[in-house]
Structure 1
Amino acid sequence: MTINCKGQLIDLSLPKVMGILNITPNSFFDGGRYSNEGEIIAKVEKMLAEGATFIDLGAYSSKPSAEFVSEEEELNRIVPVVQLLVKHFPDILLSIDTFRSKVASACIENGAAIINDIAAGNLDEKMMEVIAQYQVPYIMMHMRGTPQTMQSLTEYDDMVKEMMFYFSEKIAQARSLRINDLIVDPGFGFAKTIEQNFEVMQKLELFHNLELPLLVGISRKSMIHKSLGISADEALNGTTFLNAVALIKGAQILRVHDVKEAVECVKLFEKLNA
């Protein structure tokens, strides 16, 4: 299973790690930590040295009840950072965490390689057209509503069945536009209670029926720290455990704040399956 990133075929038969870089002042874990060029470059250099294949760059916090950020503000935040990182790391594979087609387009034009859309096109009807135009890999996440409303939309008759139907529709829409490289993200923490998040993890292997690469992003999320009665800062051990579970259940990409520990997980998983 491969994806084409800027002409480079990335083999996902060996799981890969995607490091998170939030340039938002209000992200749930690392908001405001990377606010100048030196800090941003140092953080990315560290993640790449630790073994990250992708860097996921976001300028709009999608935590529950996150404040609204205008399109203009998101563009002003993110495009200069894309330019900065592509200049300093010419071979970088940048994923852009956005649900807006104009932001996606601007970032791709400046060297981004992947679009990571929490809404799978539901919040911008032009998003898939942009993906089709540029033919970049497209991460489609499951979510209901918006970041501001999603936690009030957790009622399901059969959650995993409804998620599979959601993805089937999205895949059909993408294929109709001849989008080649699709990645599925179940959306841990998005329109799901803590108990529902664990149900998705328990049934994660079912998503392989979609026959697409599977991305798991549970890094330091509330399903971990609230379950353990600790803070997000203390949730690395729990994150590592659930990343290992995700790998055993077939995840091909781990999206994480802590690259070194996730890469170690992947290496030990390889040894287990050698």
Structure 2
Amino acid sequence: MKLKVTRLKCGGFIFGLHLNHTMADGFGIAQFIKATAEIARGAFAPSILPVWQRALLTARDPPRITFRHYEYDQVVDTKSTLIPVNNMIDQLFFFSHLQISTLRKTLPAHLHDCSSFEVFAAYVWRLRTIALQFKPEEEVRFLCVVNIRSKIDIPLGYYGNAVVVPAVITTVAKLCGNPLGYAIDLIRKAKAKATAEYIKSMVDLMVIKGRPCLTTVGSFIMSDLTRIGFENMDFGWEKAIFGGPITGGSGIIRGVTSFCISFMNRNGEKGIVVSLCLPPPAMGRFREIFYTSLDEVDSHMQTLLSAL
């Protein structure tokens, strides 16, 4: 692990952290940063003591796989759905809570209670797939990073990886040809898979199949960091303006993983920032589609406001 603090000419600070993901997940990293901030402000010890206990998530005896784990399918890239990792571009895209709320109002009634993450993840997944220009018949996967701390008995201070990444599969034609609600339904199904038994099955799969890597062919992984509290970290310099990964696409294969991060823009609007990493041509297409569709959302929002 590496730490770096940079003092800016304006008087602000950048606190940077680099570590191996096998040590901690996003929740654990936030716990570590919070503990560091508390000690920096004069605390004798962190408010939440760290818990190691790596034996918490061990396989059953005998191990048994009781679910189909699409996220670990060993898929051969035969139709160019594996993103080239050379010369990639990183960019952050902002979506206000008001825009998300407006988009939610366009959904079928059974989806009006969907979360901001579900709306935004579905929105980005579709646009990203369009931008990458996959063939209509190709399969694509959405892998949803789910925190399992509330699903099984894990101590409060445990900072190791406590996530599963259930996947759903569809085709490019279905994802891009159906309304946004189709993608949201799929993402909800992925999240719903993360039961206690699913978690045990995944741990057992690691033993039986020798720790396979997540499939990357046609895959998009999204992690919701909006509830972790990176933006509330305070080292004595007041709360952070921004907190979270600075680039998209980090992980097993660059360009596959994105993060949703809480953010307030320069106009004081609260919302979500998503980090994205794509090849230059795809990023150009995504940028154009994203901002064009945002204009449509804003136009719809003004129509709704004028009707009040």
TM-score by length of 1: 0.28
* Structure number with bigger Rg: 2
Higher RCO (CA-CA < 8 Å; seq separation 6+): 2
More helix by share: 1
TM-score by length of 2: 0.26
